Amino acid sequence: MTVELTIDGKKITTSEDKTILEAARENGIYIPTLCYHSKLSPIGSCRLCVVEIEGVEHPMASCTTPVAPNIVVTTKSEKLDKIRRDALKLMLVNHPLDCPICDAGGECDLQNMVFQFGIDQVEYKANKVEREEIPFSTPLIRHWPNRCILCGRCVWACREITGNNVLEIAEKGYDSHIEAIYPEKCLSCGECLSVCPVGALTDNLSPIKARKWQAKRTLTTCNHCSVGCQLEINTFEDKLINITTKESEGTNNGSLCVKGRFGHDYIHSEERLKQALIRKREDLIPTDIDEAISFAAKKIGEIKEKYGSDAFAGVGSVHLSNEENYIFQRFVRSVIGTNNIDSLASLIFEPLSEALIPVLGMGLMTNPLNDLLLSDVAIVIGTDLDGNHQIVANKLRWAAYHNDLKPVIVDPREISLSKGFANVWMRPKPSTDTVWINGLIREIISRGLEDKDFIKKHTKGFESLKKFVEQFTPEKVEEITGIDQKDLKDAAQLFGEAKAGAIIFGSGIIGQNDSVSAIRSLGHLALITGNLGKRGGGLYPILPRCNTQGAWDMGLNPLYFPGYQPVTDDGAIKRFKKLWGLPIKNEKGLSLVDIFLKASEGKIKAMIIMGENPLVTFPDSSLVKKAIENLEFLVVIDSFLTETAELADIVIPGVTFAEKDGTFTSCERRIQRVRAGLKPLGESMADWEIIAKISEMMGHPMNFSTPKDIFDEIAKVTPCYGNITYEQLDEKGGAWCYLGKTPRLFEDGFPGGKANFLTDDIKLPQKKENKEFPISLTVGGNFYNYLIGSKTKRAKGLALVYPDNFVLINDEDADKKGIKDGDMVVIKTENGELSLPARVNSNIIPGVAHLKISFNDIDVGKLFKADKAIVPYKIVNASIEKA
Amino acid sequence: MEIAAKTEENILTKESMEILDKIISRYKGKRGALMPVLQEAQEEFGYLPIEIQNYIATQMGIPASEVYGVVTFYHFFTMVPKGRHTIKVCLGTACYVRGGKKIIEKLKNDLGIDIGGTTPDRRFSLDVVRCLGACGLAPVVMVDNDIHQGMKPSKLDKTLEPYK
Amino acid sequence: MIVLPLLKGLKLTLKRFLNPFSIITIQYPEKKREVSPRWRGIHYFAKDEKGETKCVACGLCQAVCPSNVITIEAAEEPGGTRYPKRFLINLTRCIFCGFCEEVCPKDAIKLGRNYEFVNYKRSDFILNKEDLLNYDLVKP
Which of B46, B26, B29, B45 is CA-nearest to residue B37? B26
Region A627-648: what's the mean pLDDT?
91
Based on the fold, state whether residues A224 and A318 are members of the same structural domain: no
Residues of A in Cβ contact (< 8 Å) with B4: 184
Based on the fold, state whether residues A562 and A626 are members of the same structural domain: yes
Is there a contact between A166 and A186 (Cβ–Cβ < 8 Å)? Answer: yes
Asked if residue A761 belongs to a domain, the reply is no
Using CA coordinates, name the residue in chain C closest to A238: C73
Tens of pLDDT, residue by residue over A155-190, are: 999 988 888 889 999 888 888 899 998 898 898 999
Region A294-305: what's the mean pLDDT?
93
CA distance A86 to A113: 12
Q: Please report how many Cα atoms fall inside a 13 Å half-sphere around the Cα of residue A641, on the Cβ side.
A: 16
- C vs B contact (3+ beta-carbon pairs below 8 A): no
Residues of A in Cβ contact (< 8 Å) with C106: 100
This prediction's pTM: 0.87
Question: Looking at residue A150, which CATH number applies to its domain?
Answer: 3.30.70.20
* A416/chain B closest Cα distance in angstroms: 6
Region A580-606: what's the mean pLDDT?
91
Q: Which segments of chain B are extended strands (E)?
A: 85-90, 124-129, 141-143, 146-148
Q: Which helix (H) or strand (E) holds A839?
A: strand A833-841
CA distance A792 to A799: 7
- The closest CB to that of B69, out of A169, A839, A843, belongs to A169
Is there a contact between A370 and A494 (Cβ–Cβ < 8 Å)? Answer: no
Using CA coordinates, name the residue in chain A closest to B63: A165
pLDDT-based confidence at residue A857 (cuts at 50, 70, 90): low
pLDDT-based confidence at residue A783 (cuts at 50, 70, 90): very low
Q: Which of A45, A176, A182 to mutate to test the interface with B (most CBs of B within 10 A)?
A: A182
- C vs A contact (3+ beta-carbon pairs below 8 A): yes
One-letter amino acid for residue A184 of the chain: E
Cis peptide before B139 (omega within 30 of 0): yes
Which of A189, A113, A195 is CA-nearest to residue A148? A195
Q: Which residues pair with B88 in a beta bridge?
A: B127, B142
> What CATH number was assigned to the domain covering residues B85-160?
3.40.30.10
Question: What is the DSSP code string of A87-124?
Answer: HHHHHHHHS---GGG-TTTTS-HHHHHHHHTT------
CA distance A523 to A531: 10
In the CATH hierarchy, which fold is given to the domain comprising B14-73? Arc Repressor Mutant, subunit A (1.10.10)
Asked if residue A786 belongs to a domain, the reply is yes
Q: Which of A108, A211, A213 to mutate to test the interface with C (most CBs of C within 10 A)?
A: A211
Asked if residue A750 belongs to a domain, the reply is no
Give A519 or A802, the one with higher predicted confidence.
Answer: A519
CA distance A475 to A579: 60
Q: Which residues pair with C110 in a beta bridge?
A: C44
| Residue-level pLDDT at A747 | 84
Q: Compute the mean pLDDT over every residue in chain A, rounded to the nearest whole number.
A: 89
DSSP conformational letter for A870: S
| Residue-level pLDDT at A787 | 39
Question: What is the DSSP code string of A161-179?
Answer: TS----EEEES-GGG-EEE
Quote the radius of gyration of chain C (alpha carbons, Å): 22
Domain boundary among A76, A91, A108: A76
Determine whether the interchain pair A414/B73 forms a contact, defined as Cβ–Cβ distance below 8 Å. Answer: no
* Residue A456 φ/ψ region, left for φ over 0, alpha for ψ in the -120 to 50 degree band, beta for the rest: alpha
Cβ neighbourhood burial of C78 (10 Å; 0-12, 13-18, 19+): exposed
Is the pLDDT confidence value at A213 over 80?
Answer: yes
**Which subunits sit against B, judged by 3+ Cβ pairs under 8 A?**
A
Quote the radius of gyration of chain B (alpha carbons, Å): 19
What are C's interface residues with A at a Cβ cutoff of 8 A?
A: 56-60, 62-63, 71-77, 80-82, 85, 105-106
Calculate helix-pair angle for A474-481, A485-497, nearest 10 degrees: 120
Give the contacts of A502 (CB within 8 A, at least 6 positions apart): A367, A371, A372, A375, A377, A378, A379, A531, A536, A537, A538, A540
CA distance A345 to A240: 30
Q: What is the dihedral of CA A863, A868, A871, A876, to 10 degrees?
A: -40
pLDDT-wise least confident of A709-723, A727-741, B96-110 = A727-741
Using CA coordinates, name the residue in chain C closest to A139: C78
Give the contacts of A857 (CB within 8 A, at least 6 positions apart): A793
| Residue-level pLDDT at A617 | 81
Question: Looking at residue A53, which CATH number applies to its domain?
Answer: 3.10.20.740
pLDDT-based confidence at residue A752 (cuts at 50, 70, 90): confident
Give A402 or A6, the one with higher predicted confidence.
Answer: A6
Is there a contact between A244 and A216 (Cβ–Cβ < 8 Å)? Answer: no
Based on the fold, state whether residues A616 and A512 are members of the same structural domain: no
In this structure, chain C runs to a length of 140
* A855/chain B closest Cα distance in angstroms: 16
Based on the fold, state whether residues A565 and A637 are members of the same structural domain: yes
Cis peptide before A286 (omega within 30 of 0): no
Q: Which of B7, B48, B54, B65 to mutate to test the interface with A (most CBs of A within 10 A)?
A: B65
Cβ density class B28-66: b for 16+ within 10 Å, e for less:
eeeeebbeebbebbbeeeeebbeebbbbbbebbebbbbb
DSSP-derived 3-state class of residue A517? helix
Region A808-827: what's the mean pLDDT?
89
Based on the fold, state whether residues A575 and A510 are members of the same structural domain: no
Is there a contact between A583 and A858 (Cβ–Cβ < 8 Å)? Answer: no
* C104/chain A closest Cα distance in angstroms: 9
**Which subunits sit against C, judged by 3+ Cβ pairs under 8 A?**
A
| Residue-level pLDDT at B126 | 87
- Provide the 10 A C-beta neighbour count for residue A458: 18
Based on the fold, state whether residues A556 and A647 are members of the same structural domain: yes
Give the contacts of A336 (CB within 8 A, at least 6 positions apart): A300, A304, A309, A312, A314
Asked if residue A467 belongs to a domain, the reply is yes
Query: Domains in chain C, please, with CATH?
Result: 40-138 (3.30.70.3270)
Determine whether the interchain pair A211/C105 forms a contact, defined as Cβ–Cβ distance below 8 Å. Answer: no
| Residue-level pLDDT at A781 | 64
Region B4-26: what's the mean pLDDT?
71
> Strands A2-7 and A341-342: what pairing?
unpaired
CA angle A516, A518, A524 (to 5 degrees): 105
Residues of B in Cβ contact (< 8 Å) with A181: 64-65, 68
Is there a contact between A422 and A406 (Cβ–Cβ < 8 Å)? Answer: no
| Residue-level pLDDT at A854 | 62
Based on the fold, state whether residues A147 and A48 are members of the same structural domain: no
Question: Looking at residue A844, which CATH number applies to its domain?
Answer: 2.40.40.20
Which residues constitute the domain of residue A535?
A: 366-541
Ranges of residues in chain C whose predicted pLDDT is under 50: none
Is the pLDDT confidence value at A488 over 90?
Answer: yes
pLDDT-based confidence at residue A474 (cuts at 50, 70, 90): very high
Q: Which segments of chain C are extended strands (E)?
A: 43-45, 70-76, 82-90, 109-111, 126-127
Which of A502, A491, A471, A483 is CA-nearest to residue A432? A483
* H helices, E strands: number in chain A: 29, 38
pLDDT-wise least confident of A205-209, A379-383, B4-8 = B4-8
A150 touches chain B (CB under 8 A): no
Is the pLDDT confidence value at B54 over 80?
Answer: yes
| Residue-level pLDDT at B1 | 30
Which of A433, A423, A359, A414 is CA-nearest to residue A396? A423
* Residue A256 φ/ψ region, left for φ over 0, alpha for ψ in the -120 to 50 degree band, beta for the rest: beta
Give the contacts of A750 (CB within 8 A, at least 6 positions apart): A360, A361, A458
Is there a contact between A435 and A762 (Cβ–Cβ < 8 Å)? Answer: no
Using CA coordinates, name the residue in chain A closest to B53: A181
Based on the fold, state whether residues A205 and A144 are members of the same structural domain: yes
Region A510-514: what's the mean pLDDT?
85
| Residue-level pLDDT at A214 | 87
Tens of pLDDT, residue by residue over B96-141, are: 888 888 888 888 888 888 887 888 888 888 888 888 888 888 788 8
Region A782-797: what's the mean pLDDT?
55
A/B interface, count of CB pairs below 8 Å = 59
Residues of A in Cβ contact (< 8 Å) with C75: 207-209
* H helix runs in C1-140, sequence order: 3-18, 60-64, 99-103, 129-133, 135-138
Residues of B in Cβ contact (< 8 Å) with A171: 72-73
* Residues within 8 A of B (CB atoms), A 116-145 only: none
Q: Considering its fold, how many domains does chain A have in total?
A: 5
Tens of pLDDT, residue by residue over A357-368, are: 999 988 889 999
Based on the fold, state whether residues A431 and A321 are members of the same structural domain: no
Domain residue ranges of chain B, discontinuous segments joined by +: 14-73, 85-160
One-letter amino acid for residue A20 of the chain: I
* C28/chain A closest Cα distance in angstroms: 42
| Residue-level pLDDT at A782 | 56
| Residue-level pLDDT at A793 | 62
